[in-house]
């Protein structure tokens, strides 16, 4: 995990992708949810190995780094989603080069679920573990993998996990809903096959 005062100048350095942590302000950081989330994200960052990096701001630089993200040419609807914090923005180009109108991106938003309690943070472990596996799989395209999930799961469950966003390249995922869905799917498969 990289901790920085500025997202400007952040480069991939041969990695497949970068994840930028977005907080709204000091209040987000000071919640117990955010503190527990940091532990989950630290594990995720470690699991990315040399294929990806999670970049987060120093507490005193939250507003600066948030503006670095918001200064990109987003639509108004996308900006509204980016303001729901905390969240992660994933890109596969250097930050200064990134343009949401030209490059692939994905927003992992879990800020609107902060009221569900600390236990819900740990549901993200499975989602982040699978996401790290996709990043580490050099043959897969992480954006395509997420797109496949969107089309391969039950549409009613998928609607709760994914929200398509305006624009060609990006969409966001409700990670807490995805964690619940994966847990329920696992339980279904285990019990369907006799608990083996």
Q: Is 94 helix (H, G, I), strand (E, B) or coil?
A: coil
Which phi-psi region, left, alpha or beta, contains residue 107 (left: φ > 0; alpha: ψ -120 to 50)?
beta
- C-alpha radius of gyration, the chain, whole number: 16
Q: Token match 């980016």: residue?
A: 82
Give the tokens for residue 1. 């995990």
Tens digits of per-residue pLDDT, 44-88? 999 999 999 999 999 889 999 999 999 999 999 999 989 888 888
Q: What is the pLDDT of residue 92?
A: 94
Q: Give pLDDT, residue 36.
A: 82
pLDDT value of residue 116: 54
Whether 105 and 196 have beta carbons less than 8 Å apart is answered as no
Task: Read off the pLDDT of residues 97-111 as tens digits, 9 standing for 90 and up.
Answer: 999 999 999 888 775
Q: Specify the residue for token string 């624009």.
A: 167
pLDDT of residue 155: 36
- pLDDT above 70 covers a percentage of the chain that reads 65
Give dist(CA 176, CA 47) in Å, integer. 19
* pLDDT in the model for residue 107: 86
Task: Provide the residue ranges of all domains of the chain, joining segments of one domain with +.
Answer: 2-192
Q: How confident is the prediction for the chain on average, in pLDDT?
A: 76
Sorting pLDDT into bands at 50, 70 and 90, what band is 27? low
The answer to whether residues 54 and 19 touch, using CB atoms and an 8 Å cutoff, is yes
Q: What is the pLDDT of residue 98?
A: 97
Average of per-residue pLDDT across 8-36: 83
What pLDDT does 16 receive? 94
Position with higher pLDDT, 151 vs 172: 172
48 touches 132 (CB < 8 A) = yes
By three-state DSSP, how is residue 87 classified? strand
pLDDT at residue number 131? 83
Contacts of 40 (CB under 8 A, 6+ apart): 121, 122, 124, 125, 128
Under 8 Å between Cβ of 22 and 71: no
Residue 24: strand, helix, or coil: coil
pLDDT above 60 (res 192): no
164 pLDDT above the threshold of 80: no
Greater model confidence, 56 or 172: 56
Q: How confident is the model at residue 117 (pLDDT cuts 50, 70, 90)?
A: low
């Amino acid at each position: 995990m990289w901790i920085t005062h500025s997202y400007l100048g952040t480069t991939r350095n041969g990695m497949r992708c970068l994840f930028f942590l977005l907080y709204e302000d000091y209040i987000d950081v000071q919640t117990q949810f955010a503190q527990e989330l940091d532990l989950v994200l630290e594990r995720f960052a470690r699991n990315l190995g040399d294929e990806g990096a999670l970049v987060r701001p120093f507490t005193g630089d939250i507003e600066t780094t948030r503006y670095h993200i918001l200064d990109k040419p987003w639509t108004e609807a996308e900006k509204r989603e980016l303001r729901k914090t905390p969240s992660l923005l994933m890109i596969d180009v250097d930050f200064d080069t990134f343009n949401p109108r030209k490059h692939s991106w994905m927003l992992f938003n879990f800020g609107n679920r902060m009221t569900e309690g600390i236990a819900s943070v740990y549901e993200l472990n499975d989602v982040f573990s699978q996401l790290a596996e996709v990043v580490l799989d050099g043959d897969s395209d992480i954006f395509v993998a997420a797109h496949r999930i969107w089309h391969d799961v039950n549409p009613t469950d998928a609607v709760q996990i994914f929200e398509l966003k305006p624009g060609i390249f990006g969409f966001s995922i409700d990670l807490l809903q995805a964690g619940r869905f994966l847990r329920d799917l696992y339980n279904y498969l285990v019990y369907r096959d006799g608990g083996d």
